Structure 1
Amino acid sequence: MKAFLRNAAVVVAAASTTVAAVSCGAGTGSTSGRGNAPKIGLLLPDATTARWETRDRPLLEKRVKELCADCTIEYANAKNDVATQQEQMDSLITKQVDAIVLVAVDARALGATVKKADAAGIPVIAYDRLAEGPISGYVSFDGKEIGRLQGRALLTAMGHKAHGGRIVMMNGDPSDPNAVSFKQGALSVLQGEVKIAKSYDTLQWRSETANTNMSAAISSLGAGNIDGVYAANDGLAGGSISALKANKVHPLPPVTGQDAELAAVQRIVVGDQYMTVYKPFWPEASAGAAMAVAAARGDSLGRIATDKVRTRDGTTVPAVMLTPVSVTASRIKSTLVKDGVYTIQQICTPQLRAACARAGLT
């Protein structure tokens, strides 16, 4: 947690320094090269993962406005459709926006459109997912560490079954570089400890696909022969848990997750899901907004992005890499509630009061 706080402080301080430098150099009437006020595109991948619309979008828009009062934001959501997001990128290029914040539906498929934006002189900031093509910057969390946190938590929850037990892996979309990192990190912990009885890659991170795959795994392995479930995010965890319940698997095996969705936190409280990975939204949004504003104004990203990442084509780009946090029932209050992500009242609906009391959420 201390590492995360240090990273967060660096991001906020860097963003403030950059804005101060821009203000001193250009004055309040500064303009972009394309119009009277900088225009920033914001492209999100889907509306099924709760965080994009409920957390990232409002925080990004708020921070952009704080850093650049005259900036305008061109927003669109691809609704999990690659062709739609490609069209949205083309539209932003036609509108000659000054920078684009992109959460790619499919990192590889969007590579050509990122190249078109670069050719048009429009910097692209890859947000949360490392897009392919000539991006100008990247902000996210250490994907392999997320997988390691999930793997370690699963082994802890499995207890004596952690040595030789059978697990099902519900991985994310293989076209998402983050999903590949999560899987690699998890395998570095799990391989040699447990038997991976079934492993599935989930196109477009669809929870309904996870539900179908978990039902197939139960049919193949038997309801009593699954000792743990590695689910790469909370959506896949929810789909897997629904299938386990529908097939009358009891007790439920421990299930991992990621993104700290409210529904997942409530599942953790009642014991249906063991853990989630909390990726603090504000530091990520703050860094993404600061990078977008700097890029839109033609400023260096160096003061904000003190890390580096290597893209698929071998290019090194400026990055902000933040520290993820593992959250089990005993840590909800000291992380998510303390940070203001959710209130106890939001988590503890009337039907969850008894479970919340057991979890110390009072």
Structure 2
Amino acid sequence: MKRKHSLVVVGLMGVALSLSACGSDDDGGSDNGGGGGGEAEGKVGVILPDTESSVRWESADRPALEAAFKEAGVDAVIQNAEGDANKMTQIADTMIGDGVTVLAIVNLDSESGAAIQEKAKAAGVATIDYDRLTLGGSAEYYVSFDNTKVGELQGQGLADCLGEKDANIVYLNGSPTDNNATLFAEGAHSVLDSMTSYKVVGEQAVPDWDNEQAATIFQQLYTAADGKVDGVLAANDGLGGAAIGILEGAGQAGKVPVTGQDATVEGLQNVLAGTQCMTVYKSATQEANALAETAIALAKGEDAETTGTTVDSSDQSEVPSILLDPQSITKDNVGDVIEDGGQKAEDVCTGDFAKLCTDAGIS
């Protein structure tokens, strides 16, 4: 069963806007400055989830989205819900009231995300799930990376670092309210569960991707396993960093491989230092461009170009999707992230990491 979509027709809400710049005021306003992008109709609202689960949302996604919409000549306003589902709902209500014709959200949980999308639908506003699928939602499109593959890369990365020896593994999974976290774990398990020399000695999800809670949870799992942990499948760099902090206290940092995701500055530094086995790079520019292209198609009343569909596990509906390919990053190819613009060398190669960058061929 495929979700039925009613695409937004230009001027659906009677708003014809001259599109030229991207607004990003955290208080809810958009910057409708002058300057050239030509004329088009429609307005896009984007709501990012928080600033705590990963630094990517403000350091990578926001600037990439601003650049993508500005390049396309699209009037857009970008807000951050700061981890508060009620605030996300309020932001969405304001955006809808201000005349957005397309609304993209990174939901904090599927229930609140689906409610936002229903409100938008009732107001004739098209919706897009950005990065995270809203289970039971009504988004016209889902723009993200292949998140099962992300987990597979993490699982294979940990296996490559552990080798064929007997090993005890702890899983530090992402938020239970984030469908992506489920997919990451499924992908990792699909690789590691078939390796009979590995034993899972602990697994727990981290509420809201909270790094402080992750440290507490990992400490408890580590203690329960009597410190006999040989590898950590951490769902992102923040959770990986929390585990590394505990391992450092036990004198095991660098001896126990830890995975990650997002190719953050800290994650890349940990990979270079050898305390983190690998991370997964997902180009914010690539994802932002895909969102901008999808939003523009919706605003014009056209179909977006998709790579396939994603099954919504809540009702088995198929959501038209644009899924991008993630990349595994180890010490050998950290430079790929720098070259692609995912991070700046001057941010990664600071202090003690300068020599590590030089050794890795990063300048």
TM-score of the superposed pair, with normalisation by structure 1: 0.85
Match of 2:210 in 1: 206
Residue 347 (1) aligns with residue 348 (2): yes
Match of 2:361 in 1: 360
Q: Deviations over 1:71-109 (max 9, x none)?
A: 432322111112221222222223231011111111233
Match of 1:320 in 2: 322
Question: Which has the higher mean CA deviation after the structures are superposed, 168-177 or 30-39?
Answer: 30-39
Letter in 2 for 1:87: Q
Letter in 2 for 1:135: A
Fraction of identical pairs, as percent: 36
Match of 2:297 in 1: 294
Query: Following superposition of structure 1 onto structure 2, how do residues 79-90 of structure 1 map, counting pairs within 5 Å?
Result: 79-90=82-93
Query: Following superposition of structure 1 onto structure 2, how do residues 69-148 of structure 1 map, counting pairs within 5 Å?
Result: 69=73, 71-132=74-135, 133-148=137-152
Q: Deviations over 1:23-69 (max 9, x none)?
A: xxx9xxx86643121221110001121111111111112211222x2
Aligned pair partner of 1:276 in 270, 274, 279 = 279
Residue 179 (1) aligns with residue 181 (2): yes
Residue 151 (1) aligns with residue 155 (2): yes
Letter in 2 for 1:151: G
Q: Structure 1 residues 146, 198: closer, same or farther in 2, change over 3 A?
A: same
Q: Deviations over 1:295-330 (max 9, x none)?
A: 1232222xx224222323333232111111000000
Letter in 2 for 1:222: D
Q: Distance in 1 between matches of 2:98 and 2:357?
A: 50
Letter in 2 for 1:57: R
3-state SS of paired residue (1:230): strand
Aligned pair partner of 1:261 in 259, 264, 281 = 264
Q: Structure 1 residues 250, 292: closer, same or farther in 2, change over 3 A?
A: closer
Q: Distance in 1 between matches of 2:138 and 2:332?
A: 43
What's the offset of the Cα at 1:292?
1.2
TM-score of the superposed pair, with normalisation by structure 2: 0.85
- Say if 1:170 and 1:202, in contact at 8 Å, map to a contact too: yes
Residue 305 (1) aligns with residue 313 (2): no
- Say if 2:69 and 2:292, in contact at 8 Å, map to a contact too: yes
3-state SS of paired residue (1:47): coil
- Say if 2:15 and 2:99, in contact at 8 Å, map to a contact too: no
Aligned pair partner of 2:64 in 59, 66, 78 = 59
Match of 2:244 in 1: 241
Match of 1:22 in 2: none
Letter in 2 for 1:317: V
Residue 50 (1) aligns with residue 55 (2): yes
Q: Deviations over 1:9-30 (max 9, x none)?
A: xxxxxxxxxxxxxxxxx9xxx8
Q: Deviations over 1:130-150 (max 9, x none)?
A: 123110111111111111110
- Say if 1:31 and 1:297, in contact at 8 Å, map to a contact too: no
Match of 1:13 in 2: none
Q: Distance in 2 between matches of 1:310 and 1:158?
A: 33
For structure 2, the 5+ residue unaligned runs are 1-8, 18-41
Aligned pair partner of 2:220 in 197, 202, 216 = 216
What's the offset of the Cα at 1:166?
0.4
Q: Distance in 1 between matches of 2:175 and 2:301?
A: 34
Q: Deviations over 1:235-290 (max 9, x none)?
A: 11111111221333355300000011011101111111110000122221101011
Q: Distance in 2 between matches of 1:306 and 1:187?
A: 25
3-state SS of paired residue (2:251): coil
- Say if 2:219 and 2:246, in contact at 8 Å, map to a contact too: yes
- Say if 1:98 and 1:297, in contact at 8 Å, map to a contact too: no
- Say if 2:13 and 2:99, in contact at 8 Å, map to a contact too: no
Aligned pair partner of 2:201 in 187, 197, 200 = 197
Match of 1:4 in 2: none
- Say if 1:146 and 1:182, in contact at 8 Å, map to a contact too: yes
Aligned pair partner of 2:231 in 209, 213, 228 = 228
Letter in 2 for 1:358: D
Q: Distance in 2 between matches of 1:281 and 1:62?
A: 11
Q: Deviations over 1:133-187 (max 9, x none)?
A: 11011111111111111001101101243xx310110001121111111100100
Q: Distance in 2 between matches of 1:252 and 1:83?
A: 43
RMSD (CA atoms): 1.9
